[in-house]
């Protein structure tokens, strides 16, 4: 990204990213000290490259109230499109609040970005926010890998899960592929280690849909979502998820309740198995007592059932 883009990133209020891509330190300035333009809000359109999927309405409402009282603050980063319109690169929360406050114009920093630069800029801006969900972070990085490196999303996931395994990564006799090297270098730009991305970030992709929604939209933490995902029964998980959100349960509380549910299930399963063994013992005694009195036809059926049972029990 060029120097102008780096300066714009600092103006978004998220701080300096040392050695960002070019290795050159970014220049810190205030939006008021840099060339900005007042642009009609109706001429600014949302970017399809925005990595953030959910914006808390309460946060937007709070910002709307501030804009109504004091006017627009900060600056949006935009890139010019055809016919005098602009595409939002960074600052969607402020843009939404300005729309909600019915402002006519907003202060903007206008710069040219390729799709790759726009996505990179937006992702960097969002990763500086503490409330960015782990799922959004993961999806944003996978999208960036696809745009910047030309590695398809599913291929990137497969590479990280196989080549990025700690056992293989630590072996000197196993050389990583060029794609793996590129992915690891890209992750380092965001201060994310390969093992962290493999063991933590990618796990968000396999979360049940109800946990993904709660994680994105209702503030359910990543750690809490992982604990709840241990409950494979949808009804059991939904009950505890509802309670966790309503009562604001901590990760420790959720973990304890999940363990209780699983322990009860194991106890119930063990009880059923005990009853099953008793039934087998009873039937075995009946067969033994009847002995030669069992008719040929019935004996063949019993033998067939025993063969099926032996086959079933031998399965993993």
Beginning with the edge strand found earlier in the chain, give each strand of the sheet holding 86-90 in spatial order. Answer: 37-40, 105-110, 76-80, 86-90, 44-45
First to last CA, the chain: 54
What does the pLDDT read at residue 300?
79
What does the pLDDT read at residue 118?
87
What is the model's pTM? 0.63
C-alpha–C-alpha distance, residues 278 and 267, integer Å: 17
C-alpha–C-alpha distance, residues 146 and 54, integer Å: 22
DSSP string of 128-192, one letter each residue: TSTT--HHHHHHHHHHHHHHHH---HHHHHHHHHHHT-HHHHT-TTSPPPHHHHHHHHHHHHTT-
**Ramachandran bin of 84, using left for φ above 0, alpha for ψ from -120 to 50, beta for the remaining angles:** left
74 phi and psi angles, rounded to 5 deg: 85, -160
Q: What angle do CA 228, 153, 17 make, to 5 degrees?
A: 85
What does the pLDDT read at residue 55?
79
Q: What is the CATH number of domain 3-127?
A: 3.90.1530.10
What does the pLDDT read at residue 316?
53
What does the pLDDT read at residue 94?
92
SS3 99: helix
Torsion over CA: 167, 168, 172, 173 (sign): positive
Domain boundaries, the chain: 3-127, 133-206, 208-285
What does the pLDDT read at residue 176?
81
What does the pLDDT read at residue 22?
36
User: Structure tokens of 232?
Assistant: 């494979």
What does the pLDDT read at residue 289?
77
User: Structure tokens of 84?
Assistant: 């005098």
C-alpha–C-alpha distance, residues 89 and 76, integer Å: 8
- Per-residue pLDDT tens digits of the chain, which is 316 residues long: 333 333 333 333 333 233 333 333 333 333 444 578 999 999 999 988 777 777 778 888 999 999 999 999 999 999 999 889 999 998 988 999 999 999 999 999 999 988 888 888 887 777 766 567 889 889 889 988 988 899 999 999 999 998 887 655 555 556 788 999 999 999 988 889 999 999 999 999 999 999 999 998 888 999 999 999 999 999 999 999 999 999 999 999 999 999 988 888 765 555 556 667 777 777 777 777 777 777 777 877 877 787 777 777 766 5
- Of the candidates 18, 241, 248, the one whose C-alpha atom is nearest the C-alpha of residue 124 is 18
What does the pLDDT read at residue 130?
58
What does the pLDDT read at residue 18?
30
């Amino acid at each position: 990204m060029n120097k102008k883009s780096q300066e714009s990133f600092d103006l978004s209020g998220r701080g300096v990213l040392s050695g960002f891509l070019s290795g050159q330190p970014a220049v810190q300035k205030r939006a008021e000290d840099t060339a900005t333009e007042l642009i009609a809000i109706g001429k600014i359109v949302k970017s399809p490259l925005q990595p953030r999927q959910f914006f808390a309405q309460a946060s937007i409402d709070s910002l709307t109230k501030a804009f109504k009282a004091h006017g627009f603050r900060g600056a949006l980063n935009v890139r010019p499109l055809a016919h005098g319109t602009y595409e939002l690169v960074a600052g969607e929360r402020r843009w939404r609040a300005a729309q909600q406050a019915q402002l006519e114009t907003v202060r903007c920093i206008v710069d040219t970005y390729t799709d790759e630069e726009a996505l990179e800029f937006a992702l960097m801006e969002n990763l500086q926010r503490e409330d960015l969900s782990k799922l959004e972070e993961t999806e944003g990085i996978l999208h960036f890998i696809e745009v910047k490196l030309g590695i398809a999303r599913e291929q990137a996931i497969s590479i990280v899960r196989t080549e990025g395994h700690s056992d293989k990564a630590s072996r000197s006799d196993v050389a990583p592929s060029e794609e793996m090297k590129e992915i690891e270098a890209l992750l380092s730009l965001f201060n994310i280690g390969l093992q962290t991305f493999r063991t933590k970030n990618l796990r968000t992709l396999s979360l049940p849909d109800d946990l993904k929604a709660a994680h994105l939209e209702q503030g359910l933490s990543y750690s809490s979502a992982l604990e709840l995902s241990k409950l494979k029964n949808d009804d059991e998980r939904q009950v505890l998820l509802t309670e966790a959100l309503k009562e604001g349960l901590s990760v420790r509380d959720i973990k304890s309740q999940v363990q209780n549910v699983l322990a009860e299930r194991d106890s119930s399963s063990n009880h059923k198995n005990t009853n099953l063994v008793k039934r087998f013992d009873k039937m075995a005694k009946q067969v033994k007592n009847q002995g030669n009195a069992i008719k040929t036809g019935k004996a063949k059926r019993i033998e067939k059932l025993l063969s099926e049972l032996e086959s079933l029990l031998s399965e993993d």
